[in-house]
Amino acid sequence: MAWQPSQENLNTLAACLKDSLSGFDKAAQKQAEIMLTQAKASPDINNYLVYLFSSETPPNGLQCTAQDYFLVRSAAAIMLKNNIKTGSRQIPESSLALIKMAIPMGLQDKNAQIRNYSGNIATEMIRRGGIMSWPELLPELLKMIGNETGQVSNEAQEGAMAAMAKICEDNTKMLERELNGERPLNFILPKLIQATKSSLPKVRAQALTAINVFTARKSQAMLNSIDDLLQHLFALASDSNNDVRRQVCRAFVQLIEARPDKIQPHLPGLVDYILTQQQSDDEDLACDAAEFFLAIGEHEHLWQSLSPFISKIIPVLLGCMVYSAEDIALLGGASDDEDEDDLQKDIKPQFAKKSSARQANKDGSADPAQNGNAYEKLASMDDDLEEGEIEDFDDGDDGNPDERWTLRKCSAAALDVFARDFRGPVFESILPYLTKNLKHDDWPYREAAVLALGAVAEGCIDIVTPHLPELVPYLISLLNDPEPVVRQITCWTLGRYSSWAADLTDPNQKQLFFEPMMEGILTKMLDSNKKVQEAGASAFANLEEKAGKRLEPYSLPIIQQYVQCFKKYKDRNMFILYDCVQTLAEHIGPVLARPDLVNELMPALIDRWTKVSDQSRELFPLLECLSYVAMALNDAFTPYAQPIFVRCVNIIHQNLEASLALANDPTLDSPDKDFLVTSLDLLSAIIQALDPAKSAKLVQESQPAFFELLTFCMEDPSDEVRQSAYALLGDCAKYVFAQLEPSLPNIFSVLLKQLDLDSILDEDIDSGFGVVNNACWSAGEIAIRHKSNMAPYVPELFQRFIEIITNPGIPKGVTENAAIALGRLGLGNGELIAPHLANFAEDFLNSMDEVDPSDEKATAFRGFTAIVESNPMAMEKSLLHFFTAIARYRDLKLRSETKSGLHEDFQKAIGIYRQIIPQFDQFFGQLQPQDQQTLRSTYAF
């Protein structure tokens, strides 16, 4: 008999579902969530959810308004999707059959939201079970989209098309893969291209949305259909619907990267088309069009083809960089708001930065202000909500144009890229505009001119430089413009030219340009407008990056200004202020330990430290800032270290306890792992900064036991937490090894599991490698101190390191750290590893060729040489490589015990081979002449 719901259960469930979406009664919402969690245990919960979700009108006996019933259906759909997402394997076949019957009905619903939910559930079913778990779905959707019978309603065609677009987006690889001898996409893509001819604009737009999932990918289906697709795109280019033209623009943007050969012949017509769309009244369409120029400017070869059109394109970009009347209204005009508290929604979401991977080569990071991110000032949060799903609070404030990607920002980013591509011609194109608008009476034109000048800073610096002695003083004067938005953009533009000012060597010029620029930006950090304060702080952090140690003579007035900012700033700008402090600490380093600077800065930081609660997200940037300050102060951080260390340990302990509690009671809130990450990183910094005896005392006195907590963190499910935990483990090995040593048996049982590459999930591959990298590094740091006591762990560690250095799919930095750790195992354990030498010598030497000279490389070679001494005959195939590596080891003249010891080890190895190779001179003659010369001059022959 067909399943039937119980009326009482149906009513109870409907009431809970409605309350779960209630933003007004938090107590009812919490209670409903608890009851729904309990209801999940019922074997037919999904039947009830399907029943409510798919019934267009309230079932008999269910008393509720149309609005409330819509909430019930929405909540049922969201819960059903989440149940499929988290436990599709536990759902009985009978329930899955009901879901499959309900989805096509839901896709035809009169309500667009319900159609969206149906699509979300369908794509989740395919994502979890694969296409063969519901083989009828895709053909059925394509039939509905194509309206082959002529009987399919418009709603059903739109619902089916939206569902298909979601399935394409969420199951891209699955559709491209071979299944029973065929690739589903080969069948689907031509149908989608056909659907772009539908009479319904929503179907045309969604068909293009689905196609655009694959446009950038080089699949066989796209290869077969590309010419057909292009014909349809050109036909749709003049479509009356803006959403369709948006998707057309997006398709052309994607094809720039995927098929530049198809774009190139049509470039003259495309430039005209895109320029027309970019000047549309529809901002979203205009912004998607502008992306075309940004993408083509960044393309390795295609940008050169734009040369004939630069004089056409640049004026349109400049015109699009002026704030629109709507944006001006949203910006709210001039206001002194320094005393107003920030609203919660205005505070930028703050995420802990990942603990840096401990690298064998210390590459400088790219300056984020030099790429497109410079135009996107605020991070946008990704969330798990899909189209059509309701968020708890959504006040519809898409408002502030500063906080979203806009036509203005996209045009400025494109101008930046063109400036780097074409240089001189771009500046010549904008010069008349600058001359006319930099002193314009209307502030939006003044502001756009300053933005344009900042946008070309990197690409046109050589051409702009002769004008800077005139431009910079004028820009500094604009820091006092009556309009806050002009002051704001002026800070950003001055920050972009700060490297020019910082590089001036003539003391008079420094006094004329660098000092007024620095003072001007610093002053704006205390502007009466919070947005200008923010721009001033960001620009000053940029200037600190560029000026580096040249800021040392000015460090006292800089810190004094920061202290004033600490007193004045509201929550949001406080986060950027921490960035300024840590950037200064990073660049002037030990100078910060001067007593006059410490006495200014530390009371302000400690004041914040005492005011910020253990639950506040402000802790992330504060802990990170303190990490940099501790590293700069070194032992001068001692007076502040103990309470900070204890609090970090407590935060870690509370967070781990909360995770345990959550495992026992899923209704509790999940603890925020960023508290763990930043606390672990600050503990690392303190242990590195203090005198080792003081660090050892802090670790020894820690309650709960320090290494017990650290071991828990090394097993945390979050990659970011584990990455920071292994960084801390390595630092403990370096600075407090005596305290670490008793805990090593427990630590190695966890560490060895982490080095198993099978534990890295595909979707988290990058962060997973970051963890493995730090685990290798920490194992190496332990090995050089634990020496022969490492013996019990050597066989498995050796195996893991070999797997890493011989796997070509692993990032170079990780293989280098694994090779260093492998070499270090030889210190005290050479005889254990020597029998395997012939199998790994070449891979080890290849990895080490790339590593810069350092103590780490020196100890790795000392360990490797110890292994070689135990089995010299095993080096037959790699001996030339080994001698070349010895000859090219450049760091031997530096005086350190490790490196002078390495010189002796190399000398000994050379001596062994001179004795055992009968024709040594003949072998030696196979080396490069310069390597022979180096070896003869550096070692005794």
Write the single-letter amino acid at 843: D
Give Rg (Cα) of the chain.
Answer: 32
Dihedral pair phi/psi, residue 869, rounded to 5°: -60, -30
- What is the spatial distance between Cα 686 and Cα 632, in angstroms, rounded to a whole number? 10
- What is the spatial distance between Cα 740 and Cα 732, in angstroms, rounded to a whole number? 7
- What is the spatial distance between Cα 858 and Cα 51, in angstroms, rounded to a whole number? 69
Please state the three-class secondary structure of 578-620 as a single string: HHHHHHHHHHHHHHHHCHHHHHHHHHHHHHHHHHCCCCCCCHH
Q: Which residues contact 805 (CB under 8 A, 6 or more apart)?
A: 815, 818, 819, 822, 840, 843, 844, 847
Q: Transcribe 355-412 into DSSP letters.
A: PPP--SS-PPPP-GGGSGGGG--SPPPP-SPPTTPPPS--------GGGS--HHHHHH
Tokens read off for 92: 């009985």
Q: What pLDDT is stored for residue 861 in this prediction?
A: 97
Cβ 731 vs Cβ 687: under 8 Å: yes
Q: CA dist 778 to 356, 673, 690, 712, 731, Å?
A: 13, 22, 20, 16, 8
Cβ 255 vs Cβ 212: under 8 Å: no
**β-bridge partners, 182:** 179
Q: What pLDDT is stored for residue 389 in this prediction?
A: 42
Write the single-letter amino acid at 776: C
**β-bridge partners, 179:** 182
Q: Which residues contact 535 (CB under 8 A, 6 or more apart)?
A: 487, 488, 489, 491, 492, 524
- What is the spatial distance between Cα 641 and Cα 630, in angstroms, rounded to a whole number? 8
pTM: 0.83
- What is the spatial distance between Cα 540 and Cα 536, in angstroms, rounded to a whole number? 6
**Residue 697: strand, helix, or coil:** helix
Tokens read off for 473: 């003083």
Dihedral class, residue 127 (left if φ above 0, else alpha if ψ from -120 to 50, else beta): alpha
Of residues 898, 891, 876, 875, the one with CA closest to residue 934: 891
- What is the spatial distance between Cα 682 and Cα 582, in angstroms, rounded to a whole number? 13
Q: Which residues contact 922 (CB under 8 A, 6 or more apart)?
A: none
Tokens read off for 608: 């914040």
Continuous H helices in 787-870: 794-805, 812-825, 830-833, 837-849, 855-870
Q: Report the Cα 286 to chain-centroid distance in Å.
A: 27
Of residues 814, 778, 809, the one with CA closest to residue 793: 778
Q: Transcribe 134-202 into DSSP letters.
A: STTHHHHHHHHHHTTTS---HHHHHHHHHHHHHHHHHSHHHHHS-BTTB-HHHHHHHHHHHHTT-SSHH
Q: How many residues does the chain have?
A: 941
Dihedral pair phi/psi, residue 344, rounded to 5°: -55, -40
Cis status, amide bond into 704, omega within 30 of 0:
yes
Q: Report the Cα 336 to chain-centroid distance in Å.
A: 34
Q: What pLDDT is stored for residue 36 in this prediction?
A: 85
Dihedral class, residue 583 (left if φ above 0, else alpha if ψ from -120 to 50, else beta): alpha
Q: Which helix (DSSP H) or strand (DSSP E) does residue 682 occupy?
A: helix 674-689
- What is the spatial distance between Cα 932 and Cα 441, in angstroms, rounded to a whole number? 72
Cβ 355 vs Cβ 677: under 8 Å: yes
Q: What pLDDT is stored for residue 567 in this prediction?
A: 96
Q: Is the dihedral of CA 132, 138, 140, 143 positive or negative?
A: negative
Mean pLDDT per 10-residue segment, the chain (941 residues): 83 86 76 83 90 89 85 92 86 93 94 95 92 94 92 96 96 90 93 97 98 92 95 97 98 95 96 97 96 96 96 97 87 68 60 58 42 37 37 42 86 97 95 96 96 97 96 97 96 97 96 98 96 96 96 97 96 94 97 97 97 93 97 97 97 96 85 95 97 97 96 95 97 98 97 88 74 97 97 97 93 95 97 97 95 92 97 96 94 64 94 95 96 93 81
Q: Which residues contact 5 (CB under 8 A, 6 or more apart)?
A: 47, 48, 51, 59
Scan for tokens 């495309």, then name that residue.
270
Cβ 479 vs Cβ 490: under 8 Å: yes
**Residue 219: strand, helix, or coil:** coil
Burial 31-42 (b: 16+ CB within 10 A, else e): ebeebbeebeee
Cβ 65 vs Cβ 116: under 8 Å: no
Cβ 426 vs Cβ 314: under 8 Å: yes
Q: What pLDDT is stored for residue 433 in this prediction?
A: 96
- What is the spatial distance between Cα 142 and Cα 81, in angstroms, rounded to a whole number? 22
Cβ 630 vs Cβ 641: under 8 Å: yes
